Structure 1
Amino acid sequence: MSYSFEYIDIILLAMIAGFIFLRLRGILGKRTGFEGKAPGQFKEVIEKIKNEKTITSSDKFDDQAQKEFLQGAKIAYETIITDFSDNDNKITTSKPLLGEKILSQFNEALNERNSRGHSADITFIGINSAVIKEHKKNDKILNVTVEFIAEVITCIKDKNKNIISGDPEKIKKIYDTWVFSRDTTSSNPNWKLVNTLT
């Protein structure tokens, strides 16, 4: 007798489970095959929107973008000047900040200085001003020209440590016009120095 009650219980539970399943299916619906992923065409549209948004934000060189750029340009300026004062045979620390042409020119200047047995002592005091004089976009490349006014203590010594130019006790004001460049379509936000103007 107890066995019959157990069978009845199992049947009732199965009926309840079936009823709940049908109710959930009616409310939630059936899988269509697109859960967790978008159809191909829709994915292409989303990707296009993302790319256009990235390009637009990279192209934008408004007041805020210029302010942020100048902060980075000042750091780059000091890093490059300080690196060039090191008495190594080639540029090291600031290499990622330089375009190929400028890197080659700086390394040639270092080699020439070292071949003469000269050494440079440069103490960077600070930047008085950094002003954007021009910014031009050529296709996807944005070039920004910056005028720097900075103060340094500098002197060049020969192989016998005799001073041949500069003054180790005097602060000198220097004026530089540098051109920085970056590819606005690149995911790399870094700028590079591509030219120095006299």
Structure 2
Amino acid sequence: MFYVVLLAMVAGFLALRLYSVLGKRSGHEQPLPKPADERAVPRAATRTVDVTPEVREVALPPFDGAAEAGLRQVVQAEPGFDVARFVEGAKSAYRMILEAFWRGDEDAFRGLVTSDVHAAFAEAIAARKEAGHVLDNRLVSIEKAHIAAAGVQGGEARITIRFDADIAAVTRDADGDLVAGSTTDAVETHDVWTFVRTVRSSDPNWLLADTDEA
């Protein structure tokens, strides 16, 4: 019985000690937030975002006023026709055809030109080889691609573009010696090329049908 009383006294003493340490507030503790108290929930910083879509102006490639009516005809015949995309494609074709012609690679430009233009280019390449000449030309830059004329006739769309470009033109002989031109100076060139395509054709490619100098 003595031990039971003693254990009860010890338990009571420990309970008083725990209450003195854990059961009292010092005055500096932060109160626990209530589950329903929204003010206790931290919120991420917010800012107003302008969701209005940006209106971008599309810069159309330059074209002569006389070509506007013809371009409308092309758009009417080909609803998916895009003027800016066409001009970019024409610039790429200008570079590829020139570089292939300078190399004398007929196969490289065969699918980019009409049969008449291919025959004319092939004849010029043959004459160049017969003379023992090699072109070492380089297209430095295309300064401007300007639509000069356009139209649709007989189910065929035609667009003429004037290219203002800088070309380093060099002609060498069979031994590699310089015959004409300069390796350091670029010459301003002004070419007028006409591209054609059968409207609503399954083939989306335009072909070079005519070349001239401005």
TM range (shorter): 0.5 to 0.7
Residue 142 of structure 2 aligns with an amino acid whose one-letter code is I
* Alpha-carbon distance in structure 2 between the residues aligned to 1:61 and 1:81: 30
TM-score, structure 2 length as denominator? Answer: 0.61
CA gap of 1:180–1:116, structure 2 versus 1, over 3 A, is: same
TM-score, structure 1 length as denominator? Answer: 0.66
* Other-structure match for 1:59: 77
* Alpha-carbon distance in structure 2 between the residues aligned to 1:197 and 1:174: 11
- Residue 131 (structure 1) aligned with residue 146 (structure 2): yes
Preserved contact between residue 197 and residue 206 of structure 2 (Cα < 8 Å): yes
* Other-structure match for 2:181: 166
* Other-structure match for 2:113: 98
Larger Rg: 2
* Alpha-carbon distance in structure 1 between the residues aligned to 2:150 and 2:171: 35
* Other-structure match for 1:182: 197
Q: CA deviation at 1:192?
A: 0.1
Q: How many residues align?
A: 140
* Alpha-carbon distance in structure 2 between the residues aligned to 1:145 and 1:178: 6
Q: CA deviation at 1:151?
A: 1.3
Q: CA deviation at 1:140?
A: 0.7
- Partner of 1:135, secondary structure, is strand
* Other-structure match for 1:85: 102
- Partner of 2:161, secondary structure, is strand
1:122 pairs with one of 117, 123, 137: 137
Q: CA deviation at 1:65?
A: 1.7
Q: After TM superposition, what 4+ stretches of structure 1 lie above 3 angstroms from structure 2?
A: none
* Alpha-carbon distance in structure 2 between the residues aligned to 1:110 and 1:61: 39
What are the superposed Cα offsets for residues 84-124 of structure 1, whole Å, 9 maximum, x if unpaired?
Answer: 111x3x51212111000000000000000001100000122
Preserved contact between residue 78 and residue 199 of structure 2 (Cα < 8 Å): no
- Residue 154 (structure 1) aligned with residue 169 (structure 2): yes
CA gap of 1:147–1:61, structure 2 versus 1, over 3 A, is: farther
- Higher helix share goes to which structure? 1
CA RMSD of aligned residues (A): 2.0
* Alpha-carbon distance in structure 1 between the residues aligned to 2:157 and 2:77: 8
Q: CA deviation at 1:164?
A: 1.8
Preserved contact between residue 191 and residue 212 of structure 2 (Cα < 8 Å): yes
Q: CA deviation at 1:60?
A: 3.6
Q: CA deviation at 1:154?
A: 1.6
Q: CA deviation at 1:179?
A: 0.4
Residue 147 of structure 2 aligns with an amino acid whose one-letter code is I
CA gap of 1:125–1:75, structure 2 versus 1, over 3 A, is: same
Preserved contact between residue 159 and residue 194 of structure 2 (Cα < 8 Å): yes
Q: Which sections of structure 1, spanning at least 5 residues, go unmatched?
A: 1-55
